[in-house]
Amino acid sequence: MQDQASNPNHSLFQPVARVVYASQANIAGSVYAQMEHIRAAAVRHNQPLGVYTALLHQSGWFIQWKEGPGGALRELMDRVAADPRHHSLRLVHASRGPRLLCGPWSMAIVQGTGTPDDMARRVALLRRKMDAGWQYAPPAVWRQLSTPLQHPGAEFQADPEAFQRVLVCSARGLLAFELVHWLAQGHGQEAVQRRFAGAEHLDVGTDYVDFQQGERVMRVIAMARRGLALPLTRAFVPDYSHVVVLLADDPAADIHLLHKVALACAHAPVRPVLLGVAARPDTHGPLLRLARELDLDYQALQAPGGDAALAWSAIEPALARWREAANASQAQPLQAVLHG
C-alpha cells in the first residue's frame, strides 16, 4: 500500500477538498463486520481516485473524514449517501488544504462512551458553529465528535481545544496501557478504550484518560506500537506536546520503536518532543544519536522498568516544564480563570 509520500500522483502539499460527514448508522448485526465490508469497498475504489478516508463508528453514528480531488469526492459521496447502512447525512466540515490523512484508509470503533443523543447534540453543535463561520481543522472536528474533553475542568478552559495531549508507546509489553489505567484510577477518571484499524493493520488498541494536572486538563493516550503507522494516528501527531517511549533496554526493540515514531512524525509541521524512559542510563546513547539523525528532539529520562507509577514520576516533571512555557506564552490557564 503506497502512502502519499511515495505516490507521485498524490502530492503532499497540493491542496485537496477535505470534508467530514456525520450520519446515523443503520446496521443490524456486527458493526465490525460491516466496517470491514466498507473498508474493502473503499480500499478498492478510493485509492485510484486519490481519495483518503477515516471512518468512525461510535454511539450509533458514523463519522467519515474524506480528502481528495473535489470532483471525485462529490461522485463518491453521491454513492455513499445512498447507502442503506446509514441515513441523515450531515456535513460538519468542508475546506480546501493540504492532505492530513497520509493513506487511503483508517477506521475506528469506539464503544461505550455516550448515547446516540449525546452524539446528535455534538453533531448539531458543530453544524451550528460551522454555519456561524467557525472553522476547525478536520482533526479537531473529529476529536470534538469522538473524544470531547469530558473532564469538568475543561469547561473552565478559555479554549476547549487548549489541553495538553501526550502519546505513550511501549517498546515491548503493555506498560503504556498500564500507565493510562493507573492514571485513571489515581484521578478517579474513566479510561476510554478504542479500537483502530488501517488498510493492513487491523485491530489496534488505543486507550486514553483525561485528568487535571497543574493548571491544565491533560489527555494521556496509550497506543499499540503498530498504531503509529495508521494515517489517523499520524494526522493527530502535531497535536501532541510529547511522545513518551517506554523503552525495553533492548537495543533492537528500542531502535525499532524510535523508527516507528520518526515515521509517524515525518510529515508533521510541528513535531512533539520525544521522552525516552529507560531503566539503564546506557540505553539512551544510541537512541540520542539516532534521534539526531531522524531530526527528533529526544530527552533522556530514567525510571526502573515495568512500573507505571515510577515511570510517571520521571515523565511528569518534563511535561510540567512544557506546561509552564505554554502557560507563559498562550492560552489562559485554568487557575487564572477560576481565581483571576
Per CB under 6 A, residues contacting ligand FMN are 23, 38, 41-42, 44-46, 53, 55, 62, 64, 76, 79-80, 83, 85-86
Beta carbon of residue 73, minimum distance to ligand FMN (angstroms, whole number)? 9
Which one, 83 or 249, has the nearer CB to ligand FMN? 83
Which one, 25 or 253, has the nearer CB to ligand FMN? 25
Beta carbon of residue 44, minimum distance to ligand FMN (angstroms, whole number)? 6
Beta carbon of residue 164, minimum distance to ligand FMN (angstroms, whole number)? 32
Beta carbon of residue 25, minimum distance to ligand FMN (angstroms, whole number)? 7
The secondary structure of the chain, three-state, reads CCCCCCCCCCCCCCCEEEEEEEEEECCCCCHHHHHHHHHHHHHHHHHHHCCEEEEEEECCEEEEEEEECHHHHHHHHHHHHCCCCEEEEEEEEEEEECCCCCCCEEEEEECCCCCHHHHHHHHHHHHHHHHCCCCCCHHHHHHHHHCCCCCHHHHHCCCCCCCEEEEEEECCCCHHHHHHHHHHHHHCCCCEEEEEEECCCCCEEEEEEEEEECCEEEEEEEECHHHHHCHHHHHHHHHCCEEEEECCCCHHHHHHHHHHHHHHHCCCCCCCEEEEEECCHHHHHHHHHHHHHCCCCEEEEECCCCCHHHHHHHHHHHHHHHHHHHHHHCCCCHHHHHHC
Which one, 101 or 319, has the nearer CB to ligand FMN? 101
Beta carbon of residue 81, minimum distance to ligand FMN (angstroms, whole number)? 8
